[in-house]
Amino acid sequence: MAISFVIASAPAGTASAVPADYQSPDGVYSYVTGGAGTPGDPYRCDITAFAGKEGAVRIQSALEGYPLRTITSLEGCRSSSLVVPQTVTSIGQGAFSGCKNLESILFLGDRPSGNLPGNVSISVLQGASGWEEGTARTEIRTHGSNGSFFSYYVAGGEAHVLGPVSGVDFSIPSADSVGNRFVSISAEAFRGSGAKTVAVAEGVREIGVRAFYECLSLVSAELPDSMRDIRDEAFRYCPSLGNVDLRNVETIGFETFRDCKSFTHIIIPDSVRRAEGGCFYICTNVSCVKVGRGLDRVSERMFGFCTSMESVEFAVKPVSVGNYAFNNCRALEGIDISGADYLGRNAFFGCEKLADVKLSPRLQSIGDQAFAECRSLTTVKISDSLKTLGSHVFFNCICLTDIHFNGPMPETAPDFLFGTQNVKVHIQCVHKESWKAFEGDTVIEGDCETSFSCGHLHLAIVLAFILAGTLWLYIRHRSHM
């Protein structure tokens, strides 16, 4: 019989007709996706609403791996100022009508198709094409030294890096020659460039979406204490990049360090409050991971395919482990997830050396194939809190001999042991009736004749006191006759 399993794929995303929401540091984007991921039909997304923050917002150039091409609507937007990325090629009719506080828009690229609002100030970067005559232009400036120069623009007295002009070793200062403070490296800024090193000075707070995407020669990135947000895919596929110091960073975006194959360890400081899906996906040379106190969840695919990872330490035990979180972490030998109520599907798929797993006494759900292909597991103990157990959970766990269930039979797929033979399922005598539908090899534990619950014990004690009191009253009554 041919058995196939769905594994998280390497492309940026998977085409879907289902609308999605994405929580970014700026607010919640609602969007739909399109494209087949081919040269003639590339992946893309379309924003349909944006429940964003007040003030200035730089709209993301991609959402969860899908390049932004169209803004159909920003309904819910509360921002007074927007920066639209150069990836946008189309604007929907009335796209900005829901932005009640909007005063200005800066476009970083060529003129997109569609009508623009007439009641806000619109400006574009110098050199952008297709714009109407008289449209306000924002100057593109250059800065650098020792043969390495980059471009930038200034808005509201703050400078934002646009990308390289020449050279390979870049130093982003705190301010330019006239005192404009550098605060961000824009989305797509150095994407695909030959940059080898980047040193970012104090004051810069954000690295934008795909800012260093596919910088194959990048070996070093020095970040300042002021750095707070590293956005989606910022350093994706930088295979030569060495370990990055993340001190004081608060947000690590979707697939931020995916395919950073020269990382040897990962230290997530206490300051990090959000680490999005796949943020360290396919970091194949990482041997150890330490997660700080700011995170209490392991996001989807967070450490998937970190094939050399031997250990992971949590300062705070996670309350959930997402889908594919440790998928194919083949060197991982043990893990303490004794605080997790939820284990997603394929959470530990292919962790072939995993022998020691500490599960939570509050664990409620184990997803499909969560421990499939964990070939070193011998014994698993599951508490009485478990409510759902997915399909093929222990598929091909060839060394598994015993599973201990402390509670009644959960809502379970009948094939949770599919592909694994000679496993004894230990169940408590008091719950044996609930396991009647299970057709596997069971071992009944506990004394069925004398087993009773704490509630029964309390009742017995109460009855004993009542009986003793009644007897005392009877004796007292007899003594007065």
- 54 near 244, Cβ under 8 Å? no
Whether residue 243 has pLDDT greater than 70: yes
How many angstroms separate the Cα of 188 from the Cα of each of 193, 299, 323, 403? Answer: 10, 24, 28, 50
pLDDT of residue 152 exceeding 80, the answer is yes
Structure tokens given for 256 = 């931020």
Amino acid at site 259: D
Question: Would you say residue 314 has pLDDT above 90?
Answer: yes
Single-letter code of the amino acid located at 46: D
Of 462 and 300, more confident: 300
- Tens of pLDDT along 359-400? 999 999 999 999 999 999 999 999 999 999 999 999 999 999
Q: What is the pLDDT of residues 127-145, one digit of tens each?
A: 999 999 999 999 999 999 8
Portion of the chain with pLDDT greater than 70, in percent: 91
Q: What is the mean pLDDT of residues 443-470?
A: 67
pLDDT at site 413:
84
Is the model's pLDDT at 149 over the cut of 80? yes
The residue with greater pLDDT, 473 or 101, is 101
Residue 190: exposed, middle, or buried by beta-carbon count in 10 A (0-12, 13-18, 19+)? Answer: buried
CB-CB neighbours of 328 under 10 Å: 22
How many Cα atoms sit within 13 Å of 343 on the Cβ side? 33
Q: Mean pLDDT across the stretch 96-115?
A: 96
For the chain, the average pLDDT equals: 92
For residue 303, name the pLDDT band (cuts at 50, 70, 90).
Answer: very high
Q: What is the pLDDT of residues 183-230, one digit of tens each?
A: 999 999 999 999 999 999 999 999 999 999 999 999 999 999 999 999
In whole angstroms, what is the distance from residue 291 CA to residue 294 CA? 8
Beta strands 251-252; 229-230: pairing state = parallel
Q: Are 322 and 345 in contact (CB under 8 A)?
A: no
Instruction: Please give the pLDDT value at position 451.
Output: 45
**9 has a pLDDT exceeding 90:** no
Query: Quick one: tokens of 362?
Result: 């509050």
**What Å distances lie between residue 386 and 28, 371, 377, 400, CA to CA?**
32, 16, 19, 20
Distances (CA, A) of 161 to 79, 131, 173, 396: 22, 23, 10, 51
Residues 27-74 pLDDT 10s: 999 999 999 999 999 999 999 999 999 999 999 999 999 999 999 999
Q: What's the CA dihedral at 312, 213, 26, 83 to 10 degrees?
A: 170
pLDDT digits (tens, 9 = 90+) for 254-294: 999 999 999 999 999 999 999 999 999 999 999 999 999 99
Task: Identify the structural domains of the chain with CATH numbers, from first to last.
Answer: 20-138 (3.80.10), 142-290 (3.80.10.10), 317-450 (3.80.10.10)
Cβ contact 336:359 at 8 Å: no
Cα 345 from Cα 74, distance rounded (Å): 34
pLDDT at 13: 43
CB atoms within 10 A of CB 220: 15
Q: Specify the pLDDT at position 89.
A: 97
| pLDDT tens for each residue of 404-450 | 999 999 998 889 999 999 999 999 999 999 999 898 899 999 877 54
Length, in residues, of the chain = 481
